Amino acid sequence: MSKANVFSRRTVISAIAVALAGSMVVAGASAKELKIGFVGVTSGPAAAWGTSNVRSMKTSAAWINETGGVKIGDETYQITIVTFDDQKDPKRAIAGMEKMVQEGIHYVVGPNVDDGAAAVRPVAEKNNIMYFPYAFPKSLYQKPASNAVLGMIANYQSGPAIYKYLRDERGVKTVAFIAANESDPLSQRDGGVVAAKALGLEVVADKDTYQNDTRDFVPVLTPVLRTKPDLLVLSGVAPGNAPLLIRAARELGYTGLISTETAQDAKVLEEGAGELANGFISVGGASTPEIRSEVMEEFIERYIKMFGEYNDESNTKVYALEYIIETLKANPKAIDDVSEFKKTMETFSAPNPYMKGDAVLKYVGMTSFGQKRQVSVPMVVNEYRDGKFITLFIAEVD
């Protein structure tokens, strides 16, 4: 190879490098980058919880970026989603939150479970990060805590509404609870037991639990169903376990009602339990076609285009990023100052793009937490029927 050839190749490579660097500078000049973090579970048996978060965030971010970015104050930002799989391990959740600190991120969605959310609290508070967990311990949202914002409806908010409806409308008198032997489901079960008793329902089973990796629920349910409850509550059930529990209960001859306070996926129920899942009651976000806006329909289309299949859990998970961006738009100073974000939360209000009608985005939680540390998402109580969710009733949390 001649020297001239080497020189010319080097020249070409250098020219390409300069051109690339130049184009990056130009791109950087036209739109800044706004990084939003995610710390949660995207692998293992509970992968569906975090994956629906990540995919919702990526779908929304791609949509925003495709339309030129989001204007916050005088600047236009391209959204970048930075994700960290905590594998449902609190130690890894802390590492994930520390990674967000290193990335200079102030707004994080997740973690997905109670112990992870509790574990990241010191890191988030010390480093001025607002985070949006899908975890229910009240201490995360009550003073003196102020950096966590509950990203969904808690079971102690939806449970009483569901039990009251079923008592009044379906004549439920006795309830049995079953939960996975993990902190989230157990705390949800305990909250459910208190709520059911407060409504005058007789709790006939409240100690039965199962390992979260159980595959065959017949032995687990056999003693529970001997109590012949009118309602079987699957406290905090993971979407992967719900169809297995429903199927086992029905195949053991149980004909009563089955409900949960967590969001589920219609396709998973259809494949796992088929028509045996008919009548199963759960909670969703903008879940049903009758209340979805055109924006929500387009979000679902884009989600399917990006990831091949929609996850109904995203009906709730779509909201966290929307709240972060809309709050930043309402107060651009909050982009790197979470104290400004907190101030804005008190008065924030914006149209809810995912629902028909005049629904609004706002922060709630005064009754449950004494301060506004919860996103307002519609509490849509669904009944599964033949592959679809149909709305039983819609309520709001204050």
Partner 1 sequence: MEQVIANGLYLGAQYALIALGLTLIFALMNILNFAHGQLYVLGGFVTYTIYGQLELPFVVALFAAAVTLAVIGAFIERFLFRTVIKRSIREESTMLLAAGLAFFLDAVILLIFGEKQRGVPKLINGIFNWDFRLVMPYDRILIGFLAILSIVTFVLYMQYSKTGRAMRALAQDRVAAQLMGVNVERYSMIGFALGAMLAGVVGGLLVTITGVNSGIGGPISIKAFMMVMIGGAGVISGAIAGGFILGMMESVGLTVLHSYGDITYLVIFASLMVFLSIRPQGLMGKPWG
For partner 1, which stretch binds (CB under 8 A), given 157-165, 246-254, 280-288, 334-342? 246-254
Tokens representing 277 are 């899942």
Q: What is the spatial distance between Cα 236 and Cα 74, in angstroms, rounded to a whole number?
A: 43
Closest CB to partner 1 among residues 225, 296:
225
For partner 1, which stretch binds (CB under 8 A), given 43-51, 99-107, 119-127, 165-173? 43-51
Q: Which of 282, 311, 352, 382 binds partner 1 (CB under 8 A)?
A: 311
| 252 belongs to the binding site for partner 1 (CB under 8 A) | yes
Closest CB to partner 1 among residues 251, 301:
251
Q: Which of 48, 108, 129, 355 binds partner 1 (CB under 8 A)?
A: 48
Q: Which of 11, 23, 139, 181 binds partner 1 (CB under 8 A)?
A: 181
Q: Which of 243, 284, 285, 378 binds partner 1 (CB under 8 A)?
A: 243
Helix (H) or strand (E) holding 388: strand 388-395
Closest CB to partner 1 among residues 284, 365:
284
Closest CB to partner 1 among residues 312, 322:
312
DSSP per position, 119-130? HHHHHHHHTT-E
Number of H helices, E strands in the chain: 14, 16
Q: Report the chain's terminal Cα–Cα distance, integer Å.
A: 76
* Distant-in-sequence, close-in-space partners of 226: CB < 8 Å, separation ≥ 6: none
Closest CB to partner 1 among residues 93, 324:
93
Closest CB to partner 1 among residues 219, 289:
219
Instruction: Please say whether the beta carbons of 112 and 133 come within 8 A.
Output: yes
Closest separation between CB of residue 214 and partner 1, Å? 9
Closest CB to partner 1 among residues 223, 289:
223
Tokens representing 160 are 């009483």
Closest separation between CB of residue 205 and partner 1, Å? 8
| 45 belongs to the binding site for partner 1 (CB under 8 A) | yes
Closest separation between CB of residue 43 and partner 1, Å? 6
Torsion angle of alpha carbons 256, 262, 266, 272, nearest 10°?
-60
| 240 belongs to the binding site for partner 1 (CB under 8 A) | yes
What is the total count of residues that contact partner 1 (CB under 8 A)?
42
Closest CB to partner 1 among residues 217, 348:
217
Instruction: Please say whether the beta carbons of 384 and 321 come within 8 A.
Output: no
| 351 belongs to the binding site for partner 1 (CB under 8 A) | no
Q: What is the spatial distance between Cα 367 and Cα 387, in angstroms, rounded to a whole number?
A: 35
Q: Which of 309, 346, 357, 358 binds partner 1 (CB under 8 A)?
A: 309
Site track for partner 1 across 185-224, x = CB under 8 A? ----------------------xxxxx-x-xx-xxx-xxx
Q: What is the spatial distance between Cα 91 and Cα 282, in angstroms, rounded to a whole number?
A: 31
| 46 belongs to the binding site for partner 1 (CB under 8 A) | yes
Count Cβ atoms within 10 A of the Cβ of residue 195 and give its class: 0-12 exposed, 13-18 middle, 19 or more buried: buried
Q: Which residues of 168-293 form beta strands (DSSP E)?
A: 174-180, 202-210, 231-235, 257-259, 281-284
* Distant-in-sequence, close-in-space partners of 242: CB < 8 Å, separation ≥ 6: 234, 260, 264, 268, 269, 272, 273, 280, 282
How many angstroms separate the Cα of 31 from the Cα of each of 25, 58, 61, 202? 10, 18, 14, 59
| 251 belongs to the binding site for partner 1 (CB under 8 A) | yes
Site track for partner 1 across 352-381, x = CB under 8 A? ------------------------------
Using DSSP bridges, classify how beta strands 350-351 and 75-85 pair: parallel, antiparallel or unpaired.
Answer: unpaired
How many angstroms separate the Cα of 101 from the Cα of each of 37, 95, 152? 10, 10, 24
Residues 49-68 that bind partner 1 (CB under 8 A): 51-52
Please give the residue ranges that form the binding site for partner 1 (CB under 8 A). 42-48, 51-52, 181, 207-211, 213, 215-216, 218-220, 222-224, 239-241, 243-244, 251-253, 265, 267-268, 271-274, 308-309, 311
